[in-house]
Structure 1
Amino acid sequence: MKPADRIEFFRRLAELNPNPTTELEYDTPFELLVAVILSAQATDVGVNKATRRLFPVANTPAAILALGEDGLKRYISTIGLFNAKAKNVIATCRILLERHGGEVPQTREALEALPGVGRKTANVVLNTAFGQPTMAVDTHIFRVANRTGLAPGKDVRAVEDRLMKAVPRDYLQDAHHWLILHGRYVCKARRPECPVCVVRDLCAYRQKTVLPAG
């Protein structure tokens, strides 16, 4: 995609949604961190249902640690891989209390040292909680970047690196949210909604869908 087209691509997405954000529900960086850990291979809707029960009862590292692993599982058992996630969240809470005064660290190195936190999760927290211009590439962003020609790459890291260079600086802070939402609701995996897509004329996808006849 040409530089001028990339600028227009994000200008249109920004016009459509001036203040994009995550669909995970949270009030503090710690709540966001827990929600993102729980969201691996799960839907935001499913995570929100669980955290609406959990956070009123325990929404700090100390409070969740007091629940214990079995106690935490009772709140998140509707989420996939909840056993492993409960173990990781408990271990993360312990580290936050022992090494970071109960606060969520604001560096990639410290975040990725937490159990259950990989590069994508760290990017989400750095971007959404702390306002850093990072790019958390999930399946939606990977698909949109490749399908549109915005920033094609063979793997997640390649797409992240290309997006960090390709996204115009003025749009970098919110780009990850725009791309996720676009992939989730318009540029869908099985059948993209090309007829209603605001960037369809900028997109390199050759098998664009059309409105059904009649």
Structure 2
Amino acid sequence: MNKQKRHEIFSRLRDDNPHPTTELNYSNPFELLIAVILSAQATDVGVNKATARLFPVANTPQSIHALGVDGLSEFIKTIGLYNSKAKNVIETCRLLIERHAGDVPQTREALEALPGVGRKTANVVLNTAFGQPAMAVDTHIFRVSNRTGIAPGKTVLEVEKKLMRHVPAEFLLDAHHWLILHGRYVCKARSPQCGSCRIEDLCEYRQKTSD
């Protein structure tokens, strides 16, 4: 795929959604960090239901840490893997208090040192909370990047690096949200809606559907 195609793809995605953002509900960087940790192998809808109960009660490292693993588990037990996530969140809160004065760090290295925070989670926080150009490649972005030809790769890291290199600079900050939303609602895994896709004529997918 050439530069002109990529530019046109992101131009159209921007026209349709000028200010994209995560579908996780949050009001500060700490809430976003916790929500993203909880979202692993879970839906944003499910996480939002849990945090709607949790955050009014506890939404700082100090207040969530005070709940303890058992107390936190009561709020998030509707989410998959909630036991291990509760342990990670409590330990993350402890480290934020001890190492970062309760603030969420703004570097990938410091974020990835927190329990339950991998490269993808760190990239979400850096991009969404702190406005840094970063690409959090989830299953949707991995699929869309390969299927369309925007940034094909065999691994998540390979796709991430290609996107960072090939997405035009003017779109880089919001590209990760556009690609996730496109994969979630249009370029679906089992039934891509090619017939109603805004970028069908630019996409290099060979098995397009007529829908």
Alignment TM-score > 0.5, same fold:
yes
Within 1, Cα distance between the matches of 2:134 and 2:87? Answer: 27
Within 2, Cα distance between the matches of 1:74 and 1:29? Answer: 23
Output the amino acid matched with 1:146: N
Within 2, Cα distance between the matches of 1:209 and 1:80? Answer: 33
Output the amino acid matched with 1:120: K
Matched with 2:169 is 169
Within 1, Cα distance between the matches of 2:19 and 2:36? Answer: 20
Matched with 2:17 is 17
Which structure 1 segments of 5+ residues have no match?
none
Output the amino acid matched with 2:40: A
Tell me how far 1:204 sits from its aligned partner.
0.7
Within 2, Cα distance between the matches of 1:196 and 1:166? Answer: 25
Matched with 1:35 is 35
Within 1, Cα distance between the matches of 2:73 and 2:11? Answer: 43
Aligned to 1:8, the other structure's residue is in SS state helix
Matches within 5 A, 1:40-189: 40-189=40-189
Farther-moved stretch of structure 1 (202-211 vs 112-121): 202-211
Tell me how far 1:171 sits from its aligned partner.
0.1
Aligned to 2:127, the other structure's residue is in SS state helix
State the identity as a percent.
74
Tell me how far 1:186 sits from its aligned partner.
0.2
Aligned to 2:201, the other structure's residue is in SS state helix
Tell me how far 1:5 sits from its aligned partner.
0.4
Within 1, Cα distance between the matches of 2:150 and 2:79? Answer: 33
Using structure 2 for the length normalisation, give the TM-score: 1.00
Output the amino acid matched with 1:13: L
Matches within 5 A, 1:182-201: 182-201=182-201
Output the amino acid matched with 1:113: A
Using structure 1 for the length normalisation, give the TM-score: 0.98
Within 2, Cα distance between the matches of 1:87 and 1:35? Answer: 14
Tell me how far 1:137 sits from its aligned partner.
0.1
User: What's the C-alpha RMSD, in Å, of the aligned pairs?
Assistant: 0.4
Tell me how far 1:113 sits from its aligned partner.
0.1
Tell me how far 1:25 sits from its aligned partner.
0.1
Output the amino acid matched with 2:55: F
